[in-house]
Amino acid sequence: MLLQSHTDSIRLLPALPAGWSEGSVKGLRARGGYTLDFTWSGGLVAEAVVTCTVSGPCRLEGPGLDSVSFTGEAGSTYTFTR
C-alpha cells in the first residue's frame, strides 16, 4: 500500500488507506537496488529520498509528485519534493 515496484517504475502510495492522510516511512526497499524514505501529507507525497545501490535509470511516481526519471549512481542519494 505504500510502495509498488514490480514494473519499470517505483510507485509511492499506490493504495494509501483514507485514515493515513499523513505519515512517513524510512528504509523501504524497491526492486532494482533502491531504498526509499518518504513523507506524505493530505495523501500527497511531500518529499522522497532515493538511495541507489546500483547505477542506472529510475522512474519515480506518486500522488502529488510528477513522474520523475533520472539516472542514479551507485552510492548516491537523490531528494525530490513537491
**Which of these, 69, 20, 28, 23, lies nearest to 46 by C-alpha position?**
23
Q: Which CATH number among 2.60.40.1180, 3.40.50.720, 2.40.50.140, 3.40.50.150 corresponds to the domain 3-81?
A: 2.60.40.1180
Mean pLDDT by 10 residues, the chain (82 residues): 92 95 97 96 97 95 92 97 90
Where are the alpha helices (H) located in the chain, listed in sequence order?
none
Asked if residue 43 lies in contact with residue 27, where contact means CB atoms within 8 angstroms, the answer is no
Domain boundaries, given as residue ranges, for the chain: 3-81
